[in-house]
A and B are shown apart, each in its own frame.
Chain A
Amino acid sequence: MPARRCVRSRAGRGLACALGLVAGAMSRLNAESNGDSAWQNLREWRFTEATRAFEQTADEPTHRLGLAVALLNLQPRTADRIARAERELSALAEDASASADVVVPANYLLARIAEVHAFTPDPARAAERYAALLAAHPQHPFAQTAAARLATLRLYKLGADPLRTLADLESLGRQLTDAGARRDFHLVLGRSYLFFGGDRGRALEHLQSAMAAGIVAATVRADVLVQIGEVARELDQPAISRQAWSEFVETFPRDPRVDLIRERLAALPEGGRP
């Protein structure tokens, strides 16, 4: 009975309230810490731990996204897990109350499931989902990353006539405002024009646009400078070659191609407009 008397006392009520508040705060802290550790596990490829942690906090929409990608990578990969991830993402994608920062990645991941996560990839479905995402959220940077992936699918897996597809894809690039999305889209188109033996003038424009958008990896930057110089040389545009190759020689003096490019640079005819 002393305990009941205690709770009835003023001090007891105060203590009970304090304990309740502390317990509540600790539970919130615990949930946050679970969430943080879930993300950390995800970043460190510990998908089993990440799945477990996200399952405990799955009322948070971003954690449901985390749960879906953890499930997609959980070993052994099974059709059931992929289907569960797809259900989670579909629910998020259709949740009218969710913000674009959740809906867009959810839709993007649905396309990725069809393209790379499913045991039997469905390129047509993936392309459909990428196109729908771009149409629904044309300004969202995350949605814009779909453009390069959509272009790759249409060129290499869906189009019977790659050169015609290349021409069709040109308009897609014009709606991209995010620098990274533009860069990736132009890299795909520039390299694809060359791969399929298409219009080298268009290839050159795309490679230049990719460079202007800002290439991150030094190795890719070196390659694109060499490509721009060589395509421009073939098209009799020595000034463009000179500019690109001079930058290459200056920026990458120890690249194995540097003497080859120096030789080609020296052999360029004078003149031309940059």
Chain B
Amino acid sequence: MNDWRNRIGLFLVAASFAASVIWILVRPSPGDGAPTDRQEPVVIRFAHVTIHPGIIRAYDDAIRDYEKLNPGVRVVQMPVPIRMWSAWLRTQMVGGNAPDLADMDRGQPDEFLARYFLPLDEWVEQPNPYNVGTELEGRRWRETFINDLRSGRAYRVNLQQVYGIPFTIQTVRLFANANLLREITGSTKVPENYAELIALCHEIEAYSERTGRTILPFAGSVNHTHHYLNRLFGSQTQRLMNEPAVNVHRSFVPIVPEVYMTAYLAYLRGSWSWRDPAVASGLTMMREIAGYTTTGFLQLQRDDSLFQFAQGRALFLPTGSWDADTILAGVPFPMAILPVPLPTTDDGVRGSLTLGPISDLSETPGNAVGVARSSRHPEIAVDFLRYLTSQPVSRRVMQDSNRLSSILGVAPPESIAGFAPRLHGFPLGFHPGLTPEGSEAERVYRSLLHRLVSRGGSVEDFTDAIERVFPAAIMADLRRFNATARETSRVDDALLVAGWVGPEAKEATTSRRLDLMLETQTLRELAAAQAEWATANAQLSSQTPAAKAP
């Protein structure tokens, strides 16, 4: 009897042990695998700053359709006001409560991206499945974007990796008050180049004097005017940028982060200075246009220039496609949209410094969204990005929100057709405002700009002032660049070792990923070494005028 009872007891112990073992072996890990009918849906949190109601609505519609296609997934849109974005995002990331998808091009520095966002290089080399049945079917995801994801922000040149998927492309144009233009000139013909623009500015001045009604050529503010001034300057440094003394690597760098790095190093080598004829010409044009712009525009904000333009007190408003929807909705008169008038190659000295029309392909894309490193479902987050940037969905979202799509073959909404990106032309040269956001060079440039554009200022005054502080500023920026490069390299070493000797070492995809990482690390460290060498061996043009070229 006792023996029998013992056996029952042993059987029960063995059975419960076996059941526990089986349960431990077969239970799913938390967050593991695809959702099943009985599981909670996978939630993808999508945080962004484009809180315009039209855009939020457009995303909502797309999300609804995505969820129908993927019943186990729920996407939660989290619009956050831009003023709180940086602090909010940092808090979420550091606190381990990060959204899966987040705007990554709102001034986030490279080191922040490297730490908290996933590089997307592997994914962008594969086709976007949501483009099946379109002209983009079978193309690599990267190749479905107007600029091949080559431009800054999405592609971080310091990190040499793609961190963001841009939804839009941004172009800069002038809005013209068509009624006022007819009133002043008798026609609605818009200026096609810089010389015609200056002639029109004279005409506007004469009209103001004649009628006693003060009309300015440009409504200005710190937000709107910079874009135009930068283009004026950049048109004058197009040829300088391609001189072998500046373009030492012979790669004709086309995009903003690389452009400023090349320009910085060339400055430290003494290959250009603020007194260079091309630079002086750019500054002269900036001052000329500033003279036709609202007085004190550096102290004014976006709404001020918008108000002045909407009231018919200025003929032009220079702005970007990101503003178009607001302006079209808020301005009561008919408008023309025209490309920024720049010098043509036959325009005397100014023309000799330019290469020709500027291609919008080197423009920085907009609304780039990245995948948080802490996302528990990066594959699904990327899948949703693929859906949003597929040709049919992008077309619908952009139509609904009056923006320019970053995707090939998606025509702009009719109302902003004038902002359609120009796909032919030449890269812009460097300009003072091209420095990365938050850089020391940008800070000193902006703090001194009033000495160029104010009534009492002059090109000479600005040049004297910036020459005193620019070298230290760019050296500080280069040191920061190098610190980021080192930090990224340190983490790369861990990832390389994990790939070399970890459990994934034998997987075929690992080898390609490691190869890409090594190539990237090599070039990043080379660029950092060159920056350090240039800083240590600086020979500024103003110090050694003879040392102009290598």
Contacts and interface: CB of A to CB of B under 8 A. Distances in A.
A208 interface: no
Interface string B246-273: 0011111011000000000000000000
Nearest to B146: A254
A107 interface: no
B490 A218 contact: no
Contact of B526 (A72, A188, A252): A188
Contacts of A157: 529, 532
Interface residues of A, number: 76
Q: Interface on chain B toward A: helix, strand, loop, or mixed SS?
A: helix
Contacts of B423: 254
A69 B250 contact: no
Nearest to B514: A180
A62 B427 CA distance: 49
B462 to A, nearest CB: 29
B404 to A, nearest CB: 15
A259 B425 contact: yes
A88 interface: no
A131 to B, nearest CB: 17
A191 B249 contact: yes
A9 B6 CA distance: 10
A255 B249 contact: no
Interface string A21-63: 0100010010000011001001111010000000000000010
A257 interface: yes
B498 A39 contact: yes
B455 interface: no
A73 B533 contact: no
Interface in A233-263: 234, 252, 254-261
Interface string A89-128: 0000000000001100100010010001100000000000
Interface stretch (B80-88, B207-215, B354-362): B354-362
Interface string B1-14: 01100110110011
A115 to B, nearest CB: 9
Contact of A196 (B21, B374, B490, B550): B550
B51 interface: no
Given A188-B526, A195-B530, A255-B361, A2 B6 contact: yes
B494 A218 contact: no
B150 A255 contact: yes
Interface of B: 2-3, 6-7, 9-10, 13-14, 17, 21, 24-25, 115, 121, 125, 142, 146-148, 150, 155, 160, 242, 244, 248-252, 254-255, 355, 359, 361-362, 373-374, 408, 423-427, 486, 489-491, 493-495, 497-498, 500-504, 512, 515-516, 518-520, 522-523, 525-526, 529-530, 532-533, 550
Interface of A: 2, 5-6, 9, 11-12, 15, 18-19, 22, 26, 29, 35-36, 39, 42-45, 47, 62, 65-66, 69-70, 72-73, 101-102, 105, 109, 112, 116-117, 142, 145, 148-149, 152-153, 155-157, 180, 183-184, 187-188, 191-192, 194-197, 215-220, 222-223, 226-227, 230-231, 234, 252, 254-261
Given A45-B373, A156-B533, A230-B251, 11 more contacts: A35-B503, A45-B491, A65-B501, A116-B489, A152-B522, A180-B519, A195-B248, A234-B244, A254-B423, A255-B148, A259-B426
